[in-house]
Structure 1
Amino acid sequence: MAGVSLKCGDCGVLLRSVEEAQEHAELTSHSNFAESTEAVLNLVCSSCGKPCRSKTESDLHTKRTGHTEFVDKTSEATKLISLEVPKVAAAEGEGEVGACMSQSEEMIVPEVDKKLLEELEAMGFPTARATRALHYSGNASLEAAINWVVEHENDADIDQMPMVPANTKVEAPKPSLTPEQVKGKQQELRERARKKKEEEEKRMEREREKERIRVGKELLEAKRIEEENERKRILALRKAEKEEEKRAREKIRQKLEEDKAERRRRLGLPPEEPSAPKPSAPVVEEKKSILPVRPATKVEQMRECLRSLKQNHKDDDVRVKKAFQTLLTYIGNVARNPDEEKFRKIRLTNPSFQERVGALKGGIEFLELCGFEKIEGGEFVFLPREKVDIAVLHSAGSELDSAIKNPFFGVL
């Protein structure tokens, strides 16, 4: 049987003509060629029209594109090889392979994406290799072409310009996404960006809220410290005034002693012995006042009770203030609702009452001044309805309000 191809004895590739063998020899330096009765396959992809020279190429094309339908046109393109046909020179500068076709079919260079081709050439790839990579990767993308070059860099014909039949219709590469899919993808990206923006705004709002709480706490603490410092300053001022008064009294006493000693010296009397007992002052019989002594009023008793409560607990100003506010609440409830028994009866063993009022000396006494009486063995204090005196309650409220607002109450 006559030969239908030339087989390279060095790499085993099948070539259709002497021209292809000469080009292969120039590119690879292989020189061992022989006629073969094995025809070069011509498997044309039904989807994109890409020709494959071997089963290996068709398998790789299927793996890359998913196209599985191929038309075997090997018998149509197979002709007896002619060893007399001269080589057709390639056009200089363009890299285009001249026509050396069979009488029945003309082969041409496939059309590829010019922009992608220029990018590959700018990256240093030869025109033939870039064209082959774009053609066999389906003109999909620059990345796909580079991946094809990496996978086929050891192919013997990697730098040969690919050829396809002139009458083969090469379909344009299909877009990876349909317009509906692109629109859906854009909508998805916009939705994702919106959600991300909302999450970021919520996070920033939480951070701002934390900052507001922190600043509020700092302001409250600063206010508390300022009030505490002011209270200490007032106490220190009072103490300094007392010390100054004490020193002034001591100076006056010393002056009187000096004047006394000077008078004794002028009268010729001996100096007074410091250790000599001083004569006791004559007992003056207290004259009984003929004016009647006015008893303390209810309001004065309440004021003195509150002053005593604050003096007994002067080291805990916050607790004393809380006790005054609690007493004011009890008195206010009774004054506004005198007929409600629940406001006129207080359990002394209640933990809240004990913590706020009961544990402080003077708290229960103040309630008793307002008319409350201990009942049931001292477990409750109760204000009978007939003993509710609105005037007394108003007076008690005024004294409590003054004790709360006046920072000097009970200090002196």
Structure 2
Amino acid sequence: MIYDAIILGAGGAGLLAAATAGQAGARVLVLDHAAEAGKKILISGGGRCNFTNMGIAPQCFLSENAHFVKSALKRYTQWDFLALVEAHGIAWHEKTLGQLFCDGSARQIVDMLKEECRRGGVEIRLSTQIGEIGHRDGGFTVGRDTAPNLVVATGGPSIPKMGATGRAYAIAEQFGLTVVPPRPALVPLTLGGEERLFKEISGIACPVVARAKDVSFEEAALFTHKGLSGPAILQISSYWSPGETIALSVLADAAEKLRAAKRKMPRAHLKAALAEHLPNRLAEALAARIGVTAELGALPDRTLDETAETLTRLTFRPTGTEGYAKAEVTAGGIDTAALSSKTMEARTVPGLYAVGEAVDVTGWLGGYNFQWAWSSGVAAGRAIGAKVV
């Protein structure tokens, strides 16, 4: 069959690219090896899909080219996607830090995207293995289907149990595009050696400020039997590199609080002072790690200040991450230097596009990666639609 565009991947970016191009008059085919469209959408946000964020801004995305995201995000914003959600009658609510979720189910977002595709006359073919991709005389061939435009929307290898693969990178390399080495992102970190003492408090969470390099996030951290997780850790993991340290501030205004505890309960020990503000098991583990054994009243203020410094900069050197199986997204991907930031089209291969997680763009936790999927998908869809007018 002959189409105007073949889109590889029936995830968020691929479906919205297809709908946008289809509604502009293009004849579009979507191919996916999965049996169901939007599988990652369905499991996102605890089943309610954190579909965007009120605070979308270019600085909330990582890429070798920090400026690349600006055009697509400006031309299709979080407000544009929210308008689409509301037009479909999907009730939503805002949670912490600007995160927007469906009141009902993530399936509402998938159904919305499928309906938008239906309105554009898009053909969606599931449970279909994508074989060899040919390129001849300005057209692309996938199996028996051909089109002058091909959109790579197959995502990255994160969450392989959902069928995720690194096929996008092989396609990029087939057409001479470079790939920024992919790695797990928004992923729990593992600890080893003496730092595993926190294994004893697995399941304990508390608010922290997590820091790596010159970046910090103020959210919750979760101590696990393998190391560290929770929103703050997932966020900082995208900036962490193997061999580097991360620092946690587990007690804000620690010096002031310890001095107050010294005045209030001089016969108490550090654990008791920490337990006033932190979960008891965490207070015990921190006191053991710091090793101050004297009563608070016997400690000079200098020692309290040194202890406070430790509590506000508790340093760990992770041994690694929990890998793609636990990573919410993939950092790295198809090099943005090869793509137009306005259309997502490859500069050296006319008609070839890459969108969503397949590209070297990674957003923060909290709806940012979905917004990149929507914005980049619309950019490609509009560009394809403009060709057939």
Same fold, TM-score > 0.5, yes or no: no
Structure of greater Rg? 1
TM-score bracket for this pair, using the shorter chain length: under 0.3
Name whichever structure is richer in helix by fraction.
1
Higher relative contact order (CA 8 A, sep 6+): 2
Question: What TM-score results when the alignment is normalised by the length of structure 1?
Answer: 0.18
Name whichever structure is richer in strand by fraction.
2
Question: What TM-score results when the alignment is normalised by the length of structure 2?
Answer: 0.19
